[in-house]
Every structure is written in C-alpha cells, then in structure tokens.
Chain A
C-alpha cells in the first residue's frame, strides 16, 4: 500500500527540478532529526525555558564527548551491559531449557504453564524490593531481577516455538534413523529457533529497562546510577547526556541482536526479504 498521489503527468517536468526533488528525498530522513535538535537548541537558547530544564544541545554533547574521552562512559556502559547481559543470558539458558521440557514432558508443562501465564504479563520490576531484601543492594540482586524480568517472554516463546514444530520434520528425522536425543538438537531446536529468537528480542529491551531502573534505585557504577546521581546534584546536563549514552547503548544491544538473528536464520525464508 503506497500513495498513489502522483497524477498522470501531462508535460515532462524540468529535469533540473527532478534532480533537485530526488536530492531532497535523499536527505529528507535527516531533516526530522536535525530539526529536533535545532528546535531544542532554539528553545533553550531563547531563554524561554529555564536552562536547568532544557540545557543547550552543544553542552550536552560536550559532556558526552568528555565522558567518552575520560573513560567514564566506557566504565558505566560496561557495568550496565555486564548486568543486563549476565541477567539476560541466565534467563535465556533457564527459559529455553524449561520451555523445551514443558513442550515434551507433561508434568513440567502442568507445573509451569500457570506460572508462565501469570508471570508473562505481570510487571516483574515489582519484585525489586524482594530481591534487595534477599540479595542486598549489589550486583547479585540486580542480575537476579534482570534474569527474572527476561525469563518469562523467552520461556513463553520457546514453548510456542517447540510446540509449533512441523510434525513431518520430526517424522522425517525418525524415519531417517535419528535418535530422540539427536532429534532434539538437530530438528526441534533449529525449528523453534526463529520463535526463540523472537522471545530474545522481546526480553532484551525489557532487560535493558529493568537494568536502568535497578541502577537508578540501588546506585553504584552504571549508566542508570550515574544519571540519578546527576539528578541529585541538579546537574541537568549530566541527566541529558545520560539519556544520550543510554540510548546509544540500547541501540548497540538491539542492533547486535538483529544482526545475530539474521546470521542465525540465514536459511530461513525471512532472510530473503
């Protein structure tokens, strides 16, 4: 579905105008982004708003550059990524194992099915004070909460993916003499992989959201902690440079995941699109 606004052309348009319009549509995607920053800068420089609420764009990017050079950014981003990925990987390992077991063993399904159906939609961050109570205010409780928050989306998708495996594939493997164990590794897991990766792609942004929240609440090294400290010291340039840094980190994580999906599913029909 695209616009069919182009009316039938009666006269040939001027070639110069065509080239100009082509050039315009080439740079058009940059316009909203540049425009956003420009609007921001104009508003903040105009003095209509308190500079505390709206620091100037160059000041924010100077701060980002400074922290990039003095290593502050790498230190904080490293701590944040370590927690997010550690929690996410623990969740992935557990959720894929349990998800596959659920699809194949009835009693496991009976036990975990209601837990997943309640756990999937619930706001997992609500358990943050519980994990703080149990594991203290350091990495152990942060990582546990991140794992807890990521677990359900991956498990739900693993179950759906495993149950949705075309039975003819399994039958083919059986009649080609494969053992049940081999079928699990060479048929069920690869066939469920697209949906397992979908689970990863739902869980990973959640893990990032929760990581930032735990860091804001418990402090320590990390992008969230640095941001909340900036806020406490009324350092609004620090707050906004924190958003830029967190946004960049989130961008790297999400695009790495997309790249991984394309690599792993190069055999899949979706790769052709």
Chain B
C-alpha cells in the first residue's frame, strides 16, 4: 500500500505543479483550468451529470468489439497454424490489411453502419482482429515439436493435442496480442467518438472542448485515461493468473 503510494507520488507532484502553474498565473486559466477545477468538474459530472452512463456506453462498445475480435481472431490464428491450407488463404488478406491504419475505416463504418453503436463496434472489431490473429498464429506455430510428439506418444488424439498442448503453449503470445488489441480498442473508440457520435465519453470530450467548458473536458479526459489504465492493469492481473506456470 505504502509502496504503491510512494511509486505513484510523482503523479501527485505533477498535479500539484499543474495547480500551482495556473494559480500563479504562469499558465492562463483560459487554456488550462486548475487541477482542482477539473476534479470539481468531475465530481459534478459524476453526481449530477451522466458521466457514468456515457462511460459505460463507451466501454460496452469497446468490450463488444474486442470480445468479437478475440473469439474470431484466436480461432483463425490457431487454425492457420494447425492447417497449412487454411494459412495459404488467410495469410494474404492479413498481409494486405495489417499495415492499414485502421482509423482510415472510420468514414466507411459510419457509411455502412450509421452513427450509433454498430459503426464503433465494427471498427474496434476490425482494428483488434489482426493483432490477435497474428499473435495467436505465432504462438501456436511456436509450440515445440517435442511437446506435440510427447503428447502424441502418450496417446493423445489430435484434438486433445490442440486443446491440451497447443492452446496452453500459445497462451502467453495470445494474451500479449490481446493486450495490444485492448490498447488499440481504446484509441479507436475515442477516435470514432470524436469524429461522429451521439454519445460516449469521446463525444463528451469533443463536445465540452467545442463549448469551451474546459474543466469538464479535462474531467472526461482524466476519466478515459483512468479507464485505459485500469483496463490494462486488470488484464495484466488476469494474465499473471493464467500464466502462473510460467515462472
């Protein structure tokens, strides 16, 4: 507890510097509200406003898009490693779409799926899919032959080898890929909500920014930062639980 507080103390220092810089007039409060005002704005939004429903709407989009990408991506990646013929057909598509900055798809997803949830979910799904496919493929392909051979010689069927050897052995890389996708999902979420949306935390940031309500804008930005941070931390905890055998 104390150690954690100590570790994160520079963030407090940063907040104090922020507050002091504005209070002393070093930075005009026209371009930067004092830290305390942002905290106050956060409290107002949390108690009276709709910060939590909006944040939840955003999280739901990210979770659905990412969840779909995990389900399809891990399956496709492992299948590609399992069967050379499947690989021949999927790999060219991956090579073609991998380098595309996925934010370029925002106008098309809006064109096809409208301004609501669906366009964001599809965008996040596409953006998260490829890193997960690639990491699942690398993980499953990197399984040592001797592991598979020992399982086979111990009487495991091909199916059992897949579930009991390949999937667990590929797990570290699969989870690393999902962690990358998690970060991408937040970037695409906020970007698409900036560009066109009717609700969500990114929509709120952009809206308060345009109206010049900067204390609330900063409050929402801090909320997104916290969401990204805690999502990643939770996932890391989960990874450590799942990969406990690795130490």
A and B touching (Cβ–Cβ under 8 A): yes
Which A residues lie at the B interface, using CB under 8 A?
Answer: 1-3, 5, 25, 28-33, 36, 52-53, 110-115, 117-118, 120-130, 132-134, 202, 205-206, 208-213, 216-217, 223-224, 227-228, 230-231, 236, 239-240, 242-243, 246-247, 250-251, 253-255
Let me know if B93 and A236 touch, CB within 8 A. no
Q: Once the chains are docked, how many angstroms separate the CA of A29 from the CA of B89?
A: 6
Which of B8, B107, B195 is within 8 Å of A239, CB to CB?
A: B107
Shortest Cβ distance from B213 into chain A, in angstroms? 11
- Given A126-B221, A212-B103, A216-B103: A121 in contact with B7 (beta carbons within 8 A): no
Q: Kindly report which residue of chain B lies nearest to residue A227, judged by CB atoms.
A: B107
* B141:A1 contact, CB within 8 angstroms: yes
Residues of A close to B10: CB separation below 8 A:
110-115
List 10 other contacts, CB 8 Å, given A1-B143, A231-B111: A1-B81, A114-B7, A125-B191, A130-B209, A133-B31, A206-B187, A209-B184, A227-B104, A242-B104, A247-B104
In the assembled complex, which residues on chain B have CB atoms less than 8 Å from the CB atom of A205?
99, 101
Contact for A1 among B98, B140, B208, B232, CB less than 8 A: B140
**B84 near A3 (CB under 8 angstroms)?**
yes
In the complex, what residues of A have CB within 8 A of residue B191's CB? 125, 209-210, 213
Asked if residues A29 and B111 are in contact (CB atoms below 8 Å), the reply is: no
Indicate if B247 sits at the interface (CB-CB under 8 A). Answer: no
Interface SS majority for chain B: helix
In the assembled complex, the CB of B138 is this many whole angstroms from the nearest CB of chain A, namely 12
**B42 contacts across to A, CB distance below 8 A:** none
Q: How many angstroms between the C-alpha atoms of A1 and B162 in the bound complex? A: 11
Bound: A224/B103 CA distance, A: 9
Binding site for A on B (CB under 8 A): 7-11, 13-14, 31, 81-85, 88-93, 96-108, 110-112, 140-141, 143, 145, 148, 166, 180, 182-184, 186-191, 194-195, 202, 205-206, 208-209, 214, 217-218, 221, 224-225, 228-229, 231-233
A-B contact pairs, 19 of them (CB 8 A): A112-B10, A114-B8, A114-B10, A115-B10, A122-B186, A129-B206, A129-B217, A132-B209, A209-B103, A209-B184, A212-B101, A213-B191, A216-B103, A216-B106, A217-B194, A230-B107, A240-B108, A243-B100, A246-B104
> Is B99's CB under 8 angstroms from A126's CB?
no
Q: Do B229 and A122 have beta carbons less than 8 Å apart?
A: yes
Contact partner, A32, options B90, B111, B224, Cβ 8 Å: B90
Do A121 and B108 form a contact, CB below 8 Å, given A32-B90, A133-B209? no
Please determine whether B221 and A127 come into contact, CB atoms closer than 8 angstroms: yes
Q: With A209-B103, A231-B107 as known contacts, state yes or no: A33 contacts B194, CB within 8 Å.
A: no
